[in-house]
A and B are shown apart, each in its own frame.
Chain A
Amino acid sequence: GDSVTQMEGPVTLSEEAFLTINCTYTATGYPSLFWYVQYPGEGLQLLLKATKADDKGSNKGFEATYRKETTSFHLEKGSVQVSDSAVYFCALTGGYNKLIFGAGTRLAVHP
């Protein structure tokens, strides 16, 4: 079945460092791809999305490009801040547009 694999965390960075969180997927058909973020004590929030191959989703300085040839949707940010500390989930759409999530990657950014 469809699935998402994310790099294991935690990822620990200093402020202003470059961030990459790897995400690869297995899917039949052509899913849409998402990154969600969960800040401590808060609910899931959509960070960005891409609905077809070669689309780039971007928001708040984060970017991810839908790469069909490598079945990947890696999350990047050029300069992280302490406020970016959270758990990041990669997801794809299955039947009825339900979301299939990866296990999540915890990011800790230190001043």
Chain B
Amino acid sequence: DTGVSQNPRHKITKRGQNVTFRCDPISEHNRLYWYRQTLGQGPEFLTYFQNEAQLEKSRLLSDRFSAERPKGSFSTLEIQRTEQGDSAMYLCASSPRSDAYGYTFGSGTRLTVV
């Protein structure tokens, strides 16, 4: 297993377009988190999945954002009608049932909205 994989690494899109990011966690990890990091700031929590259930969503996650984790494996994060303020690094992390603090972060998807 090579860790948490995120695709694409970079995405440039025009304002108003929809984008989708994918996260493949470590296979035995049942917990999956999405975070957003803007320049000069720490990552901010967006949403959390335990297996396929989305158990928490941040207020930061407007109705333009939706996340899924079908079958408790990979996860997707979709942003509809992108705005310039959505430009950020989107990070995915996973952790196993046996160690809730054993996070592994992916390298992130950098989104630029022009």
The interface of chain A, by Cβ under 8 A from chain B, is 4, 32, 34, 42-46, 49, 51, 89, 91, 93-104
Instruction: Determine if A97 and B100 form an interchain contact, defined as CB atoms under 8 angstroms apart.
Output: yes
Interface bits B77-110 vs A (CB < 8 Å: 1, else 0) = 0000000000000010101000011010111100
The interface of chain B, by Cβ under 8 A from chain A, is 31, 33, 35, 40-45, 48, 50, 55-56, 91, 93, 95, 100-101, 103, 105-108
Q: How far is it, in angstroms, between the C-alpha of A94 and the C-alpha of B100 when the chains are bound? A: 12
Known: A42-B107, A43-B106, A44-B105. A97 touches B42 (CB 8 A): no
Most buried by A among B45, B91, B93, B103: B103
Q: How far is it, in angstroms, between the C-alpha of A45 and the C-alpha of B3 when the chains are bound? A: 12
Instruction: Determine if B101 and A104 form an interchain contact, defined as CB atoms under 8 angstroms apart.
Output: no
Most buried by A among B42, B43, B93, B103: B42
Please name the 10 residue pairs, one residue from A and one from B, whose CB atoms are nearest each other, closest first: A101-B42, A44-B105, A43-B107, A97-B100, A98-B45, A43-B105, A96-B48, A89-B42, A101-B43, A104-B42
